[in-house]
Amino acid sequence: MAFGFGIIGTGMIAEFHAKAIADIPDAKLIGCYNRTAEKAKKFAEAQGITAYETLEEMLANPEIHVVTICTASGAHMEPGVAAAKAGKHVIIEKPLDVTLARCDAIIDACRENNVKLATIFPSRFHGPSTEMKKAVNEGRFGKLSLGDAYVKWFRTQEYYDSGAWRGTWQLDGGGALMNQAIHSVDLLCWLMGDVESITANCSLIGHERIEVEDVAVASLKFKSGALGTIEASTAVYPGYLKRIEIHGTKGSAVMEEEDIKSWDFAEPTEEDEAIKKRLAGKTETGGGAADPKAIGHHGHRAQFEDLLAAVQEDREPAINGPEGRRSVEVILAIYQAAATGQRVDFPLKKDPDLSGWSPGK
């Protein structure tokens, strides 16, 4: 079956979605929609597709089977729900949305209309990520003891000034955590398991005219008993590759972007040396550390292919709605812990009230 795609939102990330679709033999990009008609027209001309004047018109096209949503983070729910009600399968760029209530509305709409929902976290499809997950599942780390995520990136003031939605609670949903580090938050929880409690601090140090944090540090206790940390920033010059460290009583592994930096186990296997050789020096871009455009689209392609396979096999996508919701819950808990100065336990009973809180004060 050939799948027709439509893109909602035609900013920078939409270009990566278009590249991923173009790489899939049984997929074709048909059209796009942006609430600013000129932006949609410009994107459509570059891609050789149709720019729709209204979202309803695009969703009415029976040749479009899958919709990808690339709007501002806090504007995912409305088109996501509309697409589900129109019977389209839905792929949403991270985060799923910026509140638990809005995430749940998307999840419920897709479930009620029997369409598939995937949340974009391409890092899970990279070789080191899958090998680390396999090692966790096989118990090679022994008892997990520490799990850490470091995202020490740099964004200029011009980056935040380039869009009115950037650096706002309503549409960006947060700062360095919600926009940039959420990929690593997702990976950390995927590898280490669910979180039990969090304490945290957030600050605004290197930027002006934004409502959100550009530096955050959180201390986590996982349900397994393991501990961990998350460090995230967009105020670290010149910006460094993101790093994940997983440690246990029988093994440790360190991943930097798409490279395996350490792979040490008390009980080595014949595959270990091959894994280290195959997955060392794989990073070909800056990983977005200093330039948001310095990323590849191969992870997106793999995730799009997984969604199409899920449709054909009538199964859940690898990263479905609830999986996408988890990292949003963790980040909101970090914000709540920083705002109140208190430990936050899981699960969150409701969205935290962050009105009036500024990490810059």
What are the b/e assignments for 105-130, b being 16+ CB within 10 Å?
bbbebbeebebbbbbbbbbbbbebbe
Q: Which of 129, 222, 212, 204 is CA-nearest to residue 172?
A: 212
Phi/psi for 69 (5° steps) reads -110, 120
Q: 284 and 307: one domain?
A: no
Q: 173 and 74: one domain?
A: no
Q: What type of residue sits at position 243?
A: R
Say if 46 falls within a structural domain.
yes
Helix axes 321-340, 182-192, angle to 10 degrees: 110
Q: Which of 185, 28, 64 is CA-nearest to residue 119?
A: 185
Quote the distance between the C-alpha of residue 14 and its chain's center. 14
Whether 153 and 290 have beta carbons less than 8 Å apart is answered as yes
Average pLDDT, the chain: 95
Phi/psi for 16 (5° steps) reads -70, -35
Asked whether the predicted pLDDT for residue 136 surpasses 90, the reply is yes
Give the pLDDT of residue 355.
Answer: 82
The average pLDDT across 147-169 equals 95
Whether 336 and 216 have beta carbons less than 8 Å apart is answered as no
Q: 244 and 198: one domain?
A: yes
Give the pLDDT of residue 290.
Answer: 66
CATH of the domain at 80: 3.40.50.720
CA angle, 183 then 18 then 67, to 5°:
80
Q: 161 and 184: one domain?
A: yes
Say if 54 falls within a structural domain.
yes
Asked whether the predicted pLDDT for residue 218 surpasses 80, the reply is yes
User: How many separate domains does the chain show?
Assistant: 2
Say if 70 falls within a structural domain.
yes
CATH of the domain at 155: 3.30.360.10
Say if 212 falls within a structural domain.
yes
Give the pLDDT of residue 114.
Answer: 98
Q: What is the pLDDT of residues 202-212, one digit of tens each?
A: 999 999 999 99
Give the pLDDT of residue 269.
Answer: 95
3-state secondary structure of 317: coil
Say if 59 falls within a structural domain.
yes
Q: What is the pLDDT of residues 24-34, one digit of tens each?
A: 999 999 999 99
Q: 131 and 88: one domain?
A: no
Q: What is the pLDDT of residues 33-91, one digit of tens each?
A: 999 999 999 999 999 999 999 999 999 999 999 999 999 999 999 999 999 999 999 99
Q: 222 and 247: one domain?
A: yes
Give the pLDDT of residue 329.
Answer: 98
Q: Which of 119, 105, 4 is CA-nearest to residue 60?
A: 4
CA angle, 285 then 288 then 184, to 5°:
110
The average pLDDT across 141-147 equals 98
Q: 217 and 266: one domain?
A: yes
Q: 116 and 128: one domain?
A: no
Q: 191 and 81: one domain?
A: no
3-state secondary structure of 184: helix
Q: 201 and 179: one domain?
A: yes
Sheet bearing 66-69, strands edge to edge: 50-51, 27-33, 3-8, 66-69, 89-92, 117-119
Cα Dmax for the chain = 60
Q: What is the pLDDT of residues 234-272, one digit of tens each?
A: 999 999 999 999 999 999 999 999 899 999 999 999 999
Q: 79 and 172: one domain?
A: no
Say if 185 falls within a structural domain.
yes
Asked whether the predicted pLDDT for residue 361 surpasses 90, the reply is no
For residue 228, what are the β-bridge partners?
147, 220
Look up residue 291 and give its two tokens.
Answer: 């330039």
Q: 209 and 334: one domain?
A: yes
Q: What is the pLDDT of residues 233-243, one digit of tens each?
A: 999 999 999 99
Give the pLDDT of residue 292.
Answer: 66
Say if 360 falls within a structural domain.
no
Say if 153 falls within a structural domain.
yes
The average pLDDT across 194-204 equals 98
Asked whether the predicted pLDDT for residue 215 surpasses 90, the reply is yes
The average pLDDT across 166-193 equals 96
| Domain that residue 112 falls in | 3-121+297-319
Q: What is the pLDDT of residues 286-342, one digit of tens each?
A: 666 766 665 678 899 999 999 999 999 999 999 999 999 999 999 999 999 999 999
